[in-house]
Amino acid sequence: MINLKINNIPVCIEDGSTVLEAARSIGIKIPTLCHLKGISELGACRVCVVEVKGMRNLVAACEYPVTEGMEVFTNTERVLNSRKTTIELILSDHRKDCLSCERNTNCELQRLSHKYACDSHRFAGSTRDFVFDDSTDYLIRDNSKCILCRRCIAVCKRQQGVGVIGANERGFSTHVACPFDMKLANTPCVGCGQCINVCPTGALQEKEEITRVREALSNPGKYVVVGYAPSVRAALAESFDLSLGTNCQGKINTALRYLGFDKVFDVNCSADFTIMEEANELVERIKTGGKLPMFTSCCPGWINHIQKNYPELLDNLSSCKSPQQMFGALIKHVFSKIAKIDPRDLFVVTVMPCTAKKGEKNRTFTDGLADVDAVLTTRELSALCKENGILLNELPDSETDRPFGEFSGAGAIFGATGGVMEAALRTAASILDPNARFSPVEFSEVRGLAGVKSASYTIAGQKINVAVVNGLNSVNKICESVKQGESDYQFIEVMTCPGGCVMGGGQPIRATIVRHKAEIAAARAGVLYSADKSMYTRRSHDNASLQKIYSDYIGDACGENAHKLLHTHYCALPKYVKE
């Protein structure tokens, strides 16, 4: 342990800690712009500088280690003036359209500028030639708002192992972009959106689809149906100042009706359909000697990754569409029959925690119709509600519409890493041993936030080895193992985002200090597991609406009609595309 003083307050902290960590341990907040614990610890922004007794120069608190007897001062006139000047220099090269920026009031640069009473025009002068990239289906990079903090670079390379962006050129011309300034759409970017979630300003944002949804809602010729993902109910409340870990499912239903949607359904229901197809596909592969291990196919970021980086493993992918795409197919080709509506008059909207879902909607069609027409992120739904004066925390609860609003606890846990695996095991166990109610219903070994989790189960005499992987750095390790023939797994769940969909690139952006202190992923996942535990129906195949739809419209799971409606295929994609 190291003993030091910060602002004359005694501190005792573990050796190897930084001054920033020592200050936070006693409730002193040192501002940062580039720092993300465990991901980006460069000391590049110089906003976190502090004064150390006996040292001539100010030091960056985020990377400077504590030493025995050190005396640190975080609020001297010299320190405060240095921070103010640094922020004003950043502002000199920043497009200051705060009132129209989507990060207005949730921008770390804006908050610090206000805190230190900065003059945004003090160093007015030349600005860089800014890069604007809107080449993808899912996000926009606007470098006129970039402050070169390099968080996006760090999260893309160190956390996700993709590394498609970096600092190009040098000096005043430095800017964040892809190699050789190529468009993002032409790189191995998977669309996870983690760069958006760590950006302190509005330099990165999802590609907006609110306008298309608004137009559909105002079109009398369109019957507009909406469904939202499991993770949305676990995070939307945070955008309305409700506490972390609040389940606002009932209020979302009401809000969506207030917005004018004709039907409010739940993608949890199509998650149950996914499990029916995926579990039956797994059992079939095990029984017939099919390609194993079978990878899940629910995550579009993962699909992009395997198509670009591991095409030799495409036969290991489940052929199931994701819950989002199944939802759209079911609405346009089953609900249309139930409601006697021409499927061409249906406009299907999904609300997702994920930016990659915006690209996924363009990849699957059924009978010539796109399964899904528009995708809103959780953030976009929040913005749409606020635009319409809807105060989520003051709304009454209401139920979803039927039949595509009924779901099981298995469908509810899809958004947490391990949730798809656990849901699939619940149904696979019943398929393998139809005369037994597999007990317990919970497969807790595949829960948790570890990058790789593994477990073995014996069901009806059949041993099944499974793995759950989240975060692409961990995914790469598993893929290499399978590629080399070293894996003994039969089933592998893959989620691109660390923590799963609850931490997707479209979820509410939390301040850095919250990311450091709060267990955001655990709190959001806890919402889903609590919902599951409170439900009477906890296995997908026990969903009564699902059973009736299979009986009346689809036939057998993994049958001919099911394959036409609920399955797809995948092909290799080039890593880089010449412009």
Provide the Cα torsion 545, 551, 552, 553; round to 10°: 90
pLDDT digits 0-9 by tens, 47-60: 999 999 999 999 99
Amino acid in the structure at residue 107: C
pLDDT digits 0-9 by tens, 5-35: 999 999 999 999 999 999 999 999 999 999 9
Residue 49 bridge partners (DSSP): 60
pLDDT digits 0-9 by tens, 462-504: 889 999 999 999 999 999 999 999 989 999 999 999 999 999 9
Ramachandran bin of 171, using left for φ above 0, alpha for ψ from -120 to 50, beta for the remaining angles: left
Residues present in the chain in total? 579
Distance of alpha carbon 71 from the chain centroid: 41
Query: How many beta carbons lie within 10 A of that of residue 72, not counting itself?
Result: 25
% of the chain exceeding 90 in pLDDT: 87
With 70 as the cut, is the pLDDT of residue 438 above it? no
pLDDT digits 0-9 by tens, 118-170: 998 899 888 887 889 999 999 999 999 999 999 999 999 999 999 999 999 99
With 80 as the cut, is the pLDDT of residue 218 above it? yes
Please give the pLDDT value at position 128. Answer: 80
Please give the pLDDT value at position 88. Answer: 96
Domain 2-75 -> CATH class = alpha beta
Residue 340 to residue 530: CA distance in whole angstroms: 37
For residue 199, which phi and psi values (nearest 5 degrees)? Answer: -65, 130
Fold equal for 98-204 and 211-566: no
Residue whose C-alpha is closest to residue 42's, from 143, 165, 152: 152
Q: How far is CA 261 from CA 146, 225, 239, 341, in A?
A: 36, 6, 21, 15
pLDDT tier, 275 (very low <50, low <70, confident <90, very high otherwise): very high
Q: How far is CA 61 from CA 6, 357, 517, in A?
A: 12, 38, 17
Token pair in block for residue 259: 């917005």
Domain 98-204 -> CATH class = alpha beta
Question: What is the average pLDDT across 418-440?
Answer: 83
pLDDT tier, 516 (very low <50, low <70, confident <90, very high otherwise): low
User: What is the DSSP-derived secondary structure letter of residue 143?
Assistant: G
Token pair in block for residue 63: 């990377």
pLDDT digits 0-9 by tens, 330-346: 999 999 999 999 999 99
Name the residue with tokens 């052929």: 319
pLDDT digits 0-9 by tens, 383-393: 999 999 999 99
Residue whose C-alpha is closest to residue 459's, from 489, 434, 492, 487: 434
Characterize the bridge pairing of strands 71-73 and 2-6: parallel
User: What is the DSSP-derived secondary structure letter of residue 414?
Assistant: G
Please give the pLDDT value at position 437. Answer: 59
pLDDT digits 0-9 by tens, 310-321: 999 999 999 999
Where along the chain do its domains lie?
2-75, 98-204, 211-566
* 210 within 8 A of 223, measured Cβ to Cβ: no
Topology of the domain comprising 211-566:
Rossmann fold (3.40.50)
